[in-house]
Every structure is written in C-alpha cells, then in structure tokens.
Chain A
Amino acid sequence: MSQEKIAKEMFLPAEVDATKSEEISKPSLNYWQDAWLRVKKNKGAIVSMVILVLLTIMALVGPLLTNYGIDQQNIKHNNLPPRIPVLEKVSWLPFDGELTRKNGDVYNAYEMKNVDNYYWLGTDSLGRDIFTRLWKGTQVSLYIAFLAAAIDMVIGVLYGAISGFVGGRTDNFMQRITEILVGIPNLIVVILMIIVMDPGILSITIALTITGWVGMARVIRAQVLKLKNQEYVLAARTLGLSNGKIISKHLVPNLAGVIIINTMFTIPNAIFFEAFLSFIGLGLQPPLASLGTLIDDGFKVLQLYPYQMIIPAIVISLIMICFNMVADGLRDALDPKMRD
C-alpha cells in the first residue's frame, strides 16, 4: 500500500464554538415524521398503499359505474364470461366472451345466448353483473375487516400490555380469563351472537371480535414480558419515569411492529371467517355480497366458469399482498432502533 505523505500544512486548528456544539445538523423530526421518511424510501410499500387506496375508491364508486344493480337478476343472461368493448378484439385477453367446454371446445357464450349487453367481468348463476357485485363485495369485506381489526387492536393491545406489564397475580388472572374465552369455540359464540342480534354485517363483526382480540393480547403480552426487563426500560424506571410514560414512550413504539403485523393478519382472518360463516349458512344475508361469499359461490362452479372465482380471488389476494407490503414497510419504519 502506498501512503501519501501528510504535510503539516494540511492541518488547521478546529474552531471551537460553544454555541454550535448543540446544533442539530439534521432537520428536527418527531417520531412519526421520521417514520414517514423511511416508509417513503420503501417502493413496495408505497406502490401497495396506492393500490389499496385505488381499491378502496373502486369499492366505493365501482358499483355505480355500471348500469346494473347489485341484485339485478336476469336469468336469461346467467353465467356469461367477461366481455369488454374494444378489449374483446384483443384475442389474448380473456375479455372476448368465450368459454371452454370440458372437452376443449371454445364457444362464445354471448352469441350462443344472443346477448348484446357487455358484462365487463361477466355474470353469475343468477345473471347478476359480477363487476358491480365485486366492488360491493370488496366494500363489505373491507368494512368488516377494518372494523374487526380496529376493535381487536384496541382491546387486544390494552389487555396484553396491562397483563404483561403489571405481571404477577393480575397477569395470572387475566391470562386465565383469555384461556376460558379461547377455550370456548368461537363458532358457538358466533351462532349465539347471530341469533341474539339480527343477522347482518354488524352482528358478524361483533361476533368476530368477541374472541378475536385474544390472539393480539397474547402476542402483546409476550412482547411486553420481553421488553420490560430490558436495560433501557430499567434505566427509564430508575430515572423515575411513571408507568404510563414508560408504556407510551418506550413500550408502544417497540410494540408497533408486532401490533401492525398482527392487525394485518387480523384483516384476512376476518374476511375468511366471514366467508366461512356464509359457508355454513350463517353469513351475510342474501343478496348482500362479500369477497368471501363471491369466492365461495365461484368455487362451486370453478371447472365450468373459472372467472367467477378467479376475479374475486385476484382482488382478495391483491388486498392481502398490499396490506402485507404496507405492514412490512411500516414495521421497518416504526422501529425506533432503525433510525438513521
């Protein structure tokens, strides 16, 4: 290795200015601003957020974009595949109104049934427009999922944090309560709730949350148990910080990652459980649709009319993937240990 010679002239005495030593060179950012900065760097998360926003907008305005109502039935037009003007001319796109029989024959369902209308995403077995129902279903699913996740989060985090933080007898007692709650299969609880209240979106959501928050509480408790013995918490305590402050300033930011991940998983769970309820005849009251019920219906005719399941399945997967990407991005951003 060749070394350059360091000449004495290259050195300058440092100017020591007491006023500047306290100056912060980076812009002053609070916790959330800082987190946002870091989220912005994660392209996947940003794209996913945009997609989620778009999906939410579509869920709200989508049903209004067609001339068909969500319960407008036309049996003569049932089980038609997707057909979109202009795009139908592009042969490699699946929007030409063609279906394949089991023996491999391809036929145009619209011509066979003499239909001139365009159903962008096809129709179901009752001849209802899938485009309209898809977005209505997305709307219902998102609503149930958000509501359930929010309730789960609030109850679960509070319960878990208190249980883990206070510890001792309280913890023991609170844990036994959750064990009892989880020990009773939620199907029984759900059936009871639906029978006591009128069947509908709200009763399903409430039924979902009655036992749903326990998982969150358990994860939070475990995390709190781990965190509360760590040095910085001990230090904070030694410095005389109150319990409330310790929880809000030290524990919650450290828990944010786990909370978000868990919430992101509550969302698909809520959507699926709702679909499962429809599956055993306790779900949404017909003719209301959700993504779960659409997939459930479509699955039954998968081999004949695959589009009836694939379309809602794509939307549900898209929602899930985006939620997870956003969740990962947020988790990385919210972790105080990862500040630059």
Chain B
Amino acid sequence: MAKYLTQRFVYMVITLFLIASLTFFLMKIIPGTPFSNASKLSEAQLSIMIDKYGLDEPVPVQYANYLLNLLKGDLGVSFQFNNVGVTDIIVNSLGPSATLGALAILFGTFFGIILGVISALKQNTWVDYSSTFIAVLGKSIPSFVFAGLLQYYVGVKLGWFPVAFWRGPEYMVLPTIALAMFPLATASRFVRTEMIEVMESDYITLAKAKGASWFEIAFKHALRNALIPVVTVLGPLVVSLMTGSLVIEKIFGIPGIGEQFVKSITINDYPVIMGTTLLFAALFVVVILIVDLLYGVIDPRIRLAGGKK
C-alpha cells in the first residue's frame, strides 16, 4: 500500500507539472490583452505596462521564472486587482465555494441515493416514474432558472430565506438546494441503474432466501455494489462543485471562486487563470486518488495495482 501511494504521489506531481506547463503555454497563445483599459492607453503607456509585468521577456525566460516562483509557492500577482497575490484571491474565495459545494454534494448524494434505491426496488411503478421525473427535472432545468425561481418564489414571495449574500447558515439554504439538484439527479440515476443490476445477482437471491429484511438487502448488500459508478461520477463532480458554480454564485451574490475564475478568463488575468487552474488540477488529482482508494473499500473484488505485488 505504501509503495502504491508513493507511486501515485510521484504521478500526481508529474501530472501537476504537465498541467502547469500546458496552461502556461496556453496563456501564451490565447489572444487578448490583460489590460482592461487598453483602449485608453497610448502605445508608450502600453509598452511601459508590458515591461512592468514582464510580458516582453522571451517566453522561455518567462516560463523559467514561472516555474521557479511556483516552487517557492508564489503564484504571482493579479492584473485586475492592484498588488493582490493570487494565493490571497484563491484562499479568500475558495471558502464560500467549498462550503456551498460540500453542502450541495452531501445533500444531493444523500437524497439522490435514497431516491435511486427506492426507484430501483419499485422498478416500473409510479414511484419509479415519479422519482425519475424528479431526477430528470433536476437535470433538465438549467441551474440559473432553478436558482432564479427559488429566489423569487421562496425568497421574495414566501420570504422563508434571505434572497442573497453569504452571511450565515440561513443564507446557505437556497443556493445549496439550487446546486444540489444536479448531484441529486446524477446519483439517483446511477444508483437506480446499478441497483437493478445488483438485485438480480445470486447473492441477493441468497440473502432473500435466507430471509434478510428488505432494508438489509437494499442497504447492506445491494447498495454497496451499486455505488461504484456513482463514486466514479461524483468524484470529478465534487471538484467542480467545490470549486464553485459561476451561475449560483452570481445569482445569490456569493463571493466564490467560480465567478472569480470565469472573470479572470474573460479579461485575461493570466496569473489568476494559471493559479486557479493549478488549484483545480491539484484538487482533481487528489479526488481521483481518493476515488481509486474508495473502489477497494466499497468493492473488495477490485484490487489496486500495487496490491498484487
């Protein structure tokens, strides 16, 4: 196990290095200017600014500097915010996004799994159809529409929860529900598919024959095997939800990283784009590792590559 982990860790570092390099060179070919008032600048001013941000140096030199700074943990300084370090931007805006994402994932998968199990056990009945309907609705209504409706009807009309901002637990309710619809739908669909398959297998028949209770069969025996594809799909979803949903953040006025990131892309704020990309990538490879480890936990039949030796 230790050997496997070390090996994976080395791979992770290589992966991150490649992503860092790739983003760097992508930034070099992406068109556009990082100076938001470029249209007001004379050529002399523009050349001064390009000089100040080191954009006139040869690309290999810039690349070397970038990697050196990266090793020191320095992600550079933003173009849009005067003198603000990329690390600060990420640290400050990741919190709300991660909280919201985690809540949505927990809430979504929990109810998604329950919905999936129920609809698998009651396959092709009205229960199944209505849970399918809920799940499909969750995936087929764009999140901004759902968020907007929630905000208007639950926030303004009913006045149950605050309509916007991020100041405490009651402020998290509406955005969490809006964001949870997607993992809920995804989880319930995959659980249903897998459960139906698993319920056909011999060991479930055996468990039934031995008189195991409905609950025991569904949750102890069947669900465990049905979770593999769910874990696979939800892994990357965790990253994308934790790193922020632009739309939800925008509608509910949440100071998250999703909005920050999209903005940095549209205004070519290179250091922020590269820093955030690297963070996403790092989170992603870690989650992938966890998912791979979870396979073994959930399904002992899968042995990790290192395990054989």
Contact = CB atoms under 8 A, between A and B. Distances in A.
Interface of A: 42, 44, 167-168, 171-172, 175-176, 179-180, 182-185, 187-188, 191-192, 195, 215, 218-219, 222-223, 225-226, 229, 257-258, 261, 265, 268, 272, 275-276, 279-281, 292, 295-296, 299, 302-303, 309, 313, 316-317, 319-321, 324-325, 328, 331-332, 335, 337-338
Q: Per DSSP, are chain A's interface residues mostly helix, strand or loop, or mixed?
A: helix
B18 A180 contact: yes
Contact of B285 (A179, A223, A225): A179
A166 to B, nearest CB: 12
Contact of B262 (A187, A257, A302, A303): A187
Contacts of A188: 23, 26, 30, 265, 273, 277
Contacts of A268: 139-140
B140 A261 contact: no
A317 B11 contact: no
Contacts of A325: 132
B281 interface: yes
A280 B23 CA distance: 21
A325 B295 CA distance: 29
A91 B262 CA distance: 46
B261 A185 contact: yes
Interface residues on B, range: 35 or more
Given A222-B295, A316-B140, A299 B145 contact: yes
Contacts of A180: 15, 18-19, 22, 281
Given A191-B265, A225-B302, 12 more contacts: A179-B284, A183-B16, A183-B285, A185-B261, A222-B228, A223-B228, A257-B193, A265-B139, A275-B142, A296-B142, A302-B148, A324-B189
Contacts of A179: 15, 281, 284-285, 288
A258 B148 contact: no
B30 A195 contact: yes
B186 A320 contact: no
Contacts of B233: 215, 218-219
A223 B301 contact: no
B301 A320 contact: no
A182 B284 contact: yes
B71 interface: no
A215 B141 CA distance: 21
Interface string B11-42: 10011101100110010011100000000000
B43 interface: no
A287 B124 CA distance: 43
A321 B141 CA distance: 11
B304 to A, nearest CB: 10
Contacts of B137: 317, 321
Nearest to B20: A183
B79 interface: no
A62 B288 CA distance: 46
Residue among A44, A185, A296 with max Cβ neighbours from chain B (10 Å): A185
Contacts of B18: 180
A226 B186 contact: no
Contacts of A219: 229, 232-233
B214 interface: no
A250 to B, nearest CB: 15
A299 B145 CA distance: 7
Contacts of A229: 301-302
B193 A261 contact: yes
13 contacts: A172-B305, A175-B288, A180-B19, A184-B19, A188-B23, A188-B30, A223-B229, A229-B302, A272-B142, A275-B142, A295-B145, A321-B140, A331-B196
Contacts of A272: 142
Contacts of B273: 188
B280 interface: yes
A192 B30 CA distance: 6
B129 interface: yes
Nearest to B16: A183
Given A302-B148, A317-B140, A332-B196, A182 B236 contact: yes
A337 B204 CA distance: 14
